[in-house]
Chains A and B, each alone.
Chain A
């Protein structure tokens, strides 16, 4: 897959985030261009989810800036973000368990005046399982199905950029493969993707570029091929031993 243009869609500059006195993100900068799939890799506690939640303004930055299409996000409330075109499928899926699958999807289109039937059928096309189970309560779905629902729900707002936080977390390997195949399709349809993953192997297979986050700092960035080729990354994230 090639980068279609050089327009920077999302730009994070010198971002710092802390929980009380504890610094979680210690000044990171990254950018995502239109049409790219970019991944942020890192182990538990590296600050990946914090970064995503700060982009969505669920967390407030201590300093630094985040711009999307040139619009500064850090002074906006969280509920204003999705209508700018950024949709976030959060870590742990966070589907509304006691609402039906269909109600979950409708909420994804909350900021739109009307639910676009084309988007709905596109989502059902990507994840046919959701259509089969649309009247079922989301809490009764399997983990993989809930992940499909979380992604589908995020797509309902017709975003130009999708934030995916650990879509492989706690899901059977066969479903991970299926879900990543659909993420590829979503990206091919023109949606820019920022993907956070612990599963570096599947993430790098999908992404154009990647950043490696360690205890709140970016320690490495490059194209997927560069990351795959780096001995340090191989050892730390891909499970290969140095000879």
Chain B
């Protein structure tokens, strides 16, 4: 029972990070029908940018204000990178065949990954303790302050995003653009602006996810974007790619799944089980758990 509760807490933590990152994949896919393979690398970059901002602007010492400042500044930097990425790698290929954009995405992924390596080197870096290491032992189950903050903050961000997408005019315009771009234009929606907005939101959430990865796992490497990006991408597919609540659900499920496999089987096998889960879900629900809620009448 202790293992179960411990892995439940760990799984929800990992799942929160997966979900935040998965949202970036799914939102971009929703409107552009493109898998932004560079998203995972922007997530990795955010951990390094966070580290850089912390060591250069604040030196050492932690406080809640420093943590908030690091998060905000990193999100802004990464969002600017995301908008730049869209402008140079994807916008010129908007009307090109789908495959060209995919190749461009893979290229962008390599550019960012190698860029991180050039700037910060190939060695593992240790992410600073922005948040004090506090642990609570709840009768055999150990939970850290970092875990609690990751879960709470992710939940707040996801609820905020959900309300924004479902209840606001801009959110409705984003949903309309992901259904039918031409019809959206006829409504007077500037689809280019929608795409920029999506990149800003998606990469900011990814940046928060990347900082959480740094806080939680401590060690950050230039190529970790591939690993976390792939897991988040699978989470987005499991939930139903293009579907925002689906990415949240998929991330949480995959995080829990990973944690329980690690707890009851072995963490070495986590990836094998992850891909098996993906295959099983794709066999029985090819559009993911929440994908394609309603078949459209023609």
Q: Specify whether A and B are partners.
A: yes
Which A residues have a C-beta under 8 Å from some C-beta of B?
56, 58, 77-83, 87-88, 90, 92, 94-99, 103, 106-108, 110-111, 137, 139-143, 146, 153-154, 157
Q: A58-B185, A82-B187 are in contact. Are A110 and B294 (CB under 8 A)?
A: no
B157 within 8 A of A: no
Contact present for A78 and B179 (CB under 8 Å)? no
Query: Is the pair B186, A78 in contact by a Cβ cutoff of 8 Å?
Result: yes
**What is the CB-to-nearest-CB distance from B116 to chain A, in angstroms, rounded to a whole number?**
36
Contact B191 A139 (CB under 8 A): no
Checking A87, A90, A98, A103 against B183 with a beta-carbon cut-off of 8 angstroms, the contacting residue is A90
User: Are the C-beta atoms of A99 and B175 separated by less than 8 Å?
Assistant: yes
Q: Would you give the shortest CB distance from B160 to chain A, in whole angstroms?
A: 20
Cβ–Cβ contact B182 & A58, under 8 A: yes
Bound form: Cα–Cα A146–B187 in Å: 16
Binding site for A on B (CB under 8 A): 169, 172-173, 175-176, 179-180, 182-191, 293-298
Task: Give the residues in chain B near A110, CB-CB below 8 Å.
Answer: 169, 173, 187-189
A82 and B295: CB pair below 8 A?
A: no
B176 partner residues in chain A, CB cutoff 8 A:
96, 99, 107
| Besides the known contacts A83-B188, A97-B294, 11 further A-B residue pairs in the complex with CB atoms under 8 A apart | A79-B188, A87-B186, A96-B179, A98-B294, A106-B172, A107-B176, A107-B189, A110-B169, A111-B188, A142-B297, A157-B188
- Beta-carbon contact of B186 and A99 below 8 Å: no
**Contacting pair B294 A79 (CB below 8 A):** no
- A99 near B179 (CB under 8 angstroms)? yes
Tell whether A94 pairs with B182 under 8 Å between CB atoms, given A79-B191, A143-B297. Answer: yes
* Least CB distance, B43 to chain A, in whole angstroms: 28
Known A97-B294, A139-B294, A142-B297: A79·B185 in contact at CB below 8 Å: yes
Q: Who on chain B is nearest to A108 by CB?
A: B187
A141 to B106, CA, bound (A): 41
Residue numbers in B under 8 Å from A153 (CB-CB): 187
Whole-angstrom distance between the Cβ of A238 and the nearest chain B Cβ: 28
Which residue from chain A places its CB closest to the CB of B190 in the assembled complex?
A79
Complex CA–CA separation, A80 to B190 (angstroms): 8
Query: Which A residues are in CB contact (< 8 Å) with B298?
Result: 92
Q: How far is the CB of A135 from chain B (nearest CB, A)?
A: 14
Alpha-carbon separation in the docked complex, A99 to B186 (Å)? 16
Residues on A with C-beta less than 8 A from B191 are: 79
Q: What is the CA–CA distance of A99 and B171 in the complex, to the nearest angstrom?
A: 12
Expressed in whole angstroms, the Cα–Cα distance for A48 and B184 within the complex equals: 21
> What are 10 sample pairs from A and B whose C-beta atoms fall under 8 A apart?
A77-B190, A79-B187, A92-B298, A94-B186, A95-B183, A96-B176, A98-B179, A98-B293, A107-B172, A139-B295
Complex-state Cα separation, A143 to B298, whole angstroms: 7
Q: A79-B191, A137-B294 are in contact. Are A90 and B186 (CB under 8 A)?
A: yes
B260, chain A: closest CB distance, angstroms = 33
CA distance A206 to B228 in the complex (A): 61
Of B173, B175, B188, B297, the residue contacting A141 (CB under 8 A) is: B297
What CA separation (Å) do A141 and B214 show in the bound complex? Answer: 49
With the chains together, A94 CA to B296 CA distance in Å?
Answer: 10
- CB-CB under 8 A from A137, the residues of chain B are 293-294
Q: Determine the residue in chain A with the shortest Cβ distance to B243.
A: A98
A115 closest partner in B (C-beta): B169
* A74 to B: closest C-beta gap in Å: 15
Name the CB-closest residue of A to B180.
A94
Query: Whole-angstrom distance from the CB of A6 to the nearest CB of chain B?
Result: 29
B243 to chain A: closest CB distance in Å? Answer: 10
Q: How far apart are the CA atoms of A95 and B88 in the complex, in Å?
A: 32
Complex Cα distance A103/B168, Å? 10
Contact of B186 among A88, A92, A140 (CB under 8 A): A88
Most buried by A among B184, B187, B298: B187
Name the CB-closest residue of A to B293: A98
Task: Tell me how far the C-beta of B4 lies from the nearest C-beta in chain A, rounded to whole angstroms.
Answer: 37
Q: Which residue of A lies closest to B295 (CB)?
A: A139
* Contact (Cβ within 8 A) A140 B294: yes
User: Considering the chains assembled together, what is the distance between the CA atoms of A107 and B298 in angstroms?
Assistant: 21
Which of B182, B189, B296, B297 interacts with A90 by CB under 8 Å?
B182
Given A99-B175, A106-B169, A139-B295, A82 and B183 contact (CB-CB distance below 8 Å): no
Give every chain B residue within 8 A of A81 (Cβ-Cβ): 186, 188
Contacts of A139 in B (CB 8 A): 294-297
Chain B residues whose CB sits within 8 angstroms of the CB of A143 once the complex forms: 297
4 closest A-B pairs by CB: A111-B188, A97-B296, A78-B185, A94-B183
